[in-house]
Amino acid sequence: MKAVELLYQAALKVPADNIAFFNAHAHPLLQELCAHTKTYTIKQHFKPEYDALAQLGLNTEESKHASDLALVYPSKNKQQTQTWMAKAMLQLSDGGTLIMACANKHGGKSYAAALKKLAGNMSSGSKAKCRIFSARKTGDIDSDLAALWVDNSKPQRCVSHGLMSQPGLFSWNRPDSGSQLLLSHLNEPLNGEGADLCCGYGLLSEHLLRVSTQITKLHLIEADQLALSCAKQNTVSWNEKVEAHWLDAATEQLPSKLDWIVCNPPFHTGQSRDIELGQTIVARACRSLRRGGTLYLVANRKLPYEQILNKELRRVQILTEADGFKVMQGTR
């Protein structure tokens, strides 16, 4: 049984007229919860999950009502999750309840302790290698801590790369080694129309726009709405050349007939390793190129992308292998 299922089961036992869901995940129990409450607010910034919620017929627009029940499902990032905890607690009406559930291996005990520190009270239990815990909003809430947690994960300019980013994004506060390796092997400026597929906060895009003046259009493509917002800020100097797309690169229509694509594809879904996700994105990237278009790809050395590239493209070469990564170039 997954932690999110335990979370929704616990919530069904708590009478509530107004519920707020932070990092909501699609599930039949979520439908049941929403059907039995007057108003609800669903917060989800990751496009695949957002689409799954919409397919259940759930309203993803925010309610202005205070909540008497708030549910938080943790992300991979502790700072981001603590921000959700703080926002959820602040959004609750007095006496309202916050419930969380988390797999033990993903920090269940740590989050339970953090919630007690924030709220001044906490009750918990465990089931199926998960911990489920709750707290009520009382006068004991640590408002200063809540404000600190909210502030900690706001978009901020990072010293290491000079770009806007925020906790919860991939390699948010330092340039990742794979992207740096890719940039070091783009030996000629790019031109024409291209895309930064799975662009994150725009590390590759900002560099390419700065050094390749012949780029006529750059598509920022990203599933994480928070990352895409940062990428737009980081490329604002070239706003007339940039088009941002919040979409699921594994399932939704990508821009087509592109001259080039740069890509550092993900290989995780939530907390779990998902090699097929990266393979799907790489295949779809190849098909988005025009005849003669070029794909520049960086990936963990052990990830099996060569077979896909050789199937989809006419010419494929490995430009370098270093530090556990490989940089590949292919022409359609």
pLDDT of residue 254: 98
Structure tokens at 317: 């070469």
Residue type, 38: K
Q: pLDDT under 70 in the chain at which residues?
A: 1, 62-63, 268-274
Give the pTM.
0.94
pLDDT of residue 275: 83
Cβ atoms of 274 and 268 within 8 Å: the answer is yes
Torsion of CA 281, 317, 180, 196, to 10 degrees: -40
pLDDT of residue 271: 52
Alpha helical stretches, state H, 99-142: 108-119
pLDDT of residue 272: 53
pLDDT of residue 187: 81
Reported as a single tens digit per residue, the pLDDT across 273-303 is: 568 999 999 999 999 999 999 999 999 999 9
pLDDT of residue 65: 77
Provide the b/e sequence for 214-247 (b: ≥16 CB within 10 Å).
Answer: ebebbbbbbbbebbbbbbbbbbeebeeebebbbb
CATH 3.40.50.150 domain residues, the chain? 3-152, 156-331
Which residues are registered as beta bridge partners of 325? 300, 322
| Spacing of C-alpha 95 from chain mean position | 32
3-state SS assignment for residue 286: helix
Alpha helical stretches, state H, the chain: 3-11, 28-35, 47-55, 78-91, 108-119, 143-152, 177-184, 203-211, 225-234, 275-287, 306-312
Q: How is domain 3-152 classified at the CATH fold level? A: Rossmann fold (3.40.50)
3-state SS assignment for residue 284: helix
CATH class of the structural domain 156-331: alpha beta
Q: Put residue 257 in one of left, alpha, beta given phi > 0 → left and psi -120 to 50 → alpha.
A: left
Cβ atoms of 204 and 231 within 8 Å: the answer is no
pLDDT of residue 246: 98
